[in-house]
Amino acid sequence: MVPATSALLAMLALKLLDKERRSHIDDFNCDEALGLFAGLNILPKKSFATDYSYRVGRDQ
């Protein structure tokens, strides 16, 4: 599981690179520098940014 802080930093890095479409983030998946910025070894895959289950929390 990707920590919330790392997920936020990964999305911020892509936003700072002006990558508006989350479906095109595969171009940066193997970029180690962006992963290091986010506190990971590489950025999360495209499914992490677009999958519905990652965007909602289950508070029960």
Q: What is the pLDDT of residues 26-52, one digit of tens each?
A: 777 777 888 888 888 888 777 776 765
Q: Is 34 exposed, middle or buried (0-12, 13-18, 19+ CB in 10 A)?
A: buried
For the chain, domain boundaries = 4-50
Residue scoring higher pLDDT (24 or 9): 9
Its pTM stands at: 0.63
Is a pLDDT exceeding 80 seen at residue 9? yes
Note the pLDDT of residue 46: 75
Query: For position 56, what pLDDT does the model report?
Result: 55
| Whole-angstrom distance, CA of residue 45 vs CA of residue 60 | 28
